[in-house]
């Protein structure tokens, strides 16, 4: 029963899209939180600190005013109250500048009424200062000092208290901002851990899915490989049987027919006949003999009878001189090790490997010399076919016929449960090395 396998690509693409969407969403979240943190740092914390600096500046100026008013009330100085007018003028300018900057930097959480109250109180204070210096200008120092004691000092104390409250508010706002920053950091950190946990889970699930898909895929490939090996075994066996059958038919039928025709023509040539007829008979006899030789060569190439009668060694001893005669390539054949009977199921495949290797060498290697080495041990047959020609191409896709021949040799090696290698010897060229366990002799077909 044919089993269908779903393609995991679509599911993996969906998983990839979901993963990218998750990464994009988390990145957007992290960036937005970082941007909010940056705004909080810039718009609240930094601005709050700069505003506090201006409030400290105002508080310092108010303190200087307080010291000046104390000196004015004590009357220890030899000069009159008008001498303080320049100092008050300078402090007034600095306070107005500080108040203007503080108003620009004031946090948005601060009430506008408190800011207006500070400006109004400072305006009232300066009006009282102007009245005090007006009295001093008229020579009414005692009344001016009473104004300082009764009004200005109270206004200055109220302003200082108001500024101190604003500083406390700024400190509280900074503490809240710091807590919010920590909260944002904690939230982002917590979500990073969540994201990492989800990512690990997704990666683990994806890996398990890939492992499962790959396992099914490899199981299917293993089944297909086994089916392919069985099919290759059957096809090669059928091919050899067909070639052997055709070879026998050519030997038993056409060979005998051509032999009989030759004998009949020889007998007819011994009879009395005109010279012209005898010459025609001789020509026909030569054609029949040539056809008989070609037929013998054909059925020997299809399946050499000597392989069935004499075994692998005699078949190679017969085939190599025929190959040399046909191609003009000198082949050095050596056999080592004890003579071992090789079953027909093994011998035909080893013979075909030698045949295919030499044919490939003759077609592609451009070599004039080759070596065939056959070695027998107690448990293994070792075959080498070597030439020093151009060698195998770097791209195996070059040369389709050579590629098919190499595939056929590999299939035969697998049928023999052996191992075949296509190597490049140090001298260059190609070395085909086949190792076959002799125990496979009874299981090759």
The CATH number given to whatever domain includes residue 410 is 3.30.565.10
Rounded CA gap, 370 and 429, in Å? 10
Q: Which pLDDT score is estimated for 400?
A: 37
Looking at residue 441, the DSSP 8-state letter turns out to be G
pLDDT at 25 over 70: yes
The candidate with the shortest Cα–Cα distance to 428, out of 375, 388, 369, 370, is: 388
Q: 329-364, pLDDT tens digit by residue?
A: 999 999 998 877 888 778 888 988 998 899 988 888
Rounded CA gap, 268 and 289, in Å? 15
Any bridge partners for residue 384, and if so which? 373, 433
Q: Which pLDDT score is estimated for 399?
A: 39
Q: 384-418, pLDDT tens digit by residue?
A: 999 988 877 655 443 334 467 788 888 888 888 88
Q: 229-253, pLDDT tens digit by residue?
A: 677 777 767 776 776 667 666 666 6
End position of a domain, from candidates 147, 177, 210: 210
Rounded CA gap, 443 and 349, in Å? 12
End position of a domain, from candidates 165, 188, 210: 210
313 and 204 in a common domain:
no
Query: Can you tell me which residue has the tokens 């069935």?
Result: 308
pLDDT at 432 over 90: yes
Q: 133-168, pLDDT tens digit by residue?
A: 898 888 888 898 889 888 988 988 998 998 888 888
Task: Please list, residue by residue across 183-193, b when 16 or more beta carbons sit within 10 angstroms of its beta carbon and e when fewer do.
Answer: eeeeeeeeeee
Q: Which pLDDT score is estimated for 332?
A: 93
How far apart, in Å, are the Cα atoms of 411 and each of 57, 212, 232, 419?
96, 30, 7, 10
170 and 46 in a common domain:
yes
Q: Please state the domain count of the chain.
A: 2
Q: What is the pTM of this model?
A: 0.49
- Estimate the share of the chain in helix, then strand, then coil, as percent rounded to the nearest 5: 75, 10, 15
Q: Is 197 exposed, middle or buried (0-12, 13-18, 19+ CB in 10 A)?
A: exposed
Express as a percent the part of the chain with pLDDT over 90. Answer: 13
Q: Dihedral angle at the C-alpha atoms of 245, 248, 249, 253, nearest 10 degrees?
A: -170
Greater confidence (119 vs 295) lies with 119
**2, part of any domain:** no
339 and 204 in a common domain:
no
Q: Which pLDDT score is estimated for 419?
A: 92
DSSP 308-338: HHH-HHHHHHHHHHHHHHHH--EEEEEEES-
State the pLDDT confidence band at 39, using cuts at 50, 70 and 90. Answer: low
Averaged pLDDT, 178-196: 79
State the pLDDT confidence band at 2, using cuts at 50, 70 and 90. Answer: very low
End position of a domain, from candidates 159, 176, 210: 210
Domain that holds residue 346: 305-443
Looking at residue 51, the DSSP 8-state letter turns out to be H
pLDDT at 288 over 90: no
């Amino acid at each position: 029963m044919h089993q269908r396998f779903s393609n995991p690509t679509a599911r993996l693409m969906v998983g990839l899209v979901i993963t990218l969407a998750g990464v994009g969403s988390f990145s957007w979240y992290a960036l937005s939180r970082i941007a909010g943190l940056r705004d909080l740092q810039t718009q609240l914390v930094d601005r709050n600190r700069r505003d506090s600096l201006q409030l400290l500046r105002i508080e310092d100026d108010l303190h200087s005013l307080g010291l000046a008013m104390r000196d004015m009330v004590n009357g220890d100085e030899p000069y009159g109250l008008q001498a303080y007018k320049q100092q008050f003028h300078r402090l007034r300018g600095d306070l107005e500048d500080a108040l203007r900057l503080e108003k620009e930097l004031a946090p948005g959480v601060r009430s506008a009424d408190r800011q207006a109250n500070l400006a109004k109180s400072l305006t009232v204070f300066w009006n009282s200062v102007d009245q005090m210096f007006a009295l001093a200008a008229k020579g009414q120092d005692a009344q001016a000092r009473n104004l300082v004691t009764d009004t200005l000092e109270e206004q200055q104390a109220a302003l200082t208290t108001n500024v101190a409250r604003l500083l406390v508010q700024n400190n509280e706002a900074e503490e809240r901002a710091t807590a919010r920053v920590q909260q944002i950091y904690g939230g982002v950190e917590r979500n990073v851990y969540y994201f990492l946990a989800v990512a690990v889970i997704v990666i683990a699930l994806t890996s398990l899915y890939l492992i499962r898909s790959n396992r099914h895929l490899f199981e299917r490939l293993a089944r297909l490989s086994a089916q392919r090996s069985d099919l290759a075994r059957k096809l090669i066996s059928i091919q050899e049987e067909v070639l052997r059958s055709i070879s026998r038919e050519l030997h038993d039928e056409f060979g005998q027919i051509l032999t009989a025709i030759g004998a009949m023509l020889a007998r007819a040539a011994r009879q009395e006949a005109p010279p012209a007829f005898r010459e025609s008979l001789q020509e026909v006899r030569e054609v029949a003999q040539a056809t008989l030789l070609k037929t013998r060569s054909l059925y020997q190439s299809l399946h050499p009878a000597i392989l069935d009668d004499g075994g692998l060694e005699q078949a190679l001893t017969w085939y190599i001189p025929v190959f040399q005669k046909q191609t003009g390539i000198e082949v050095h054949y050596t056999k080592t090790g004890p003579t071992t009977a090789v079953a027909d199921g093994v011998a035909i495949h080893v013979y075909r490997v030698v045949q295919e290797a030499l044919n490939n060498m003759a077609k592609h290697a451009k070599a004039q010399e080759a070596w065939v080495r056959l070695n027998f041990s107690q448990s293994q047959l070792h075959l080498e076919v070597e030439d020093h020609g151009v060698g195998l191409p770097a791209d195996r896709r070059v040369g389709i016929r050579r590629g098919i021949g190499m595939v056929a040799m590999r299939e035969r090696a697998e049928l023999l449960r052996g191992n075949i290698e296509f190597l490049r010897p140090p001298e260059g060229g190609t070395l085909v090395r086949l190792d076959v366990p002799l125990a496979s002799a009874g299981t090759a077909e």
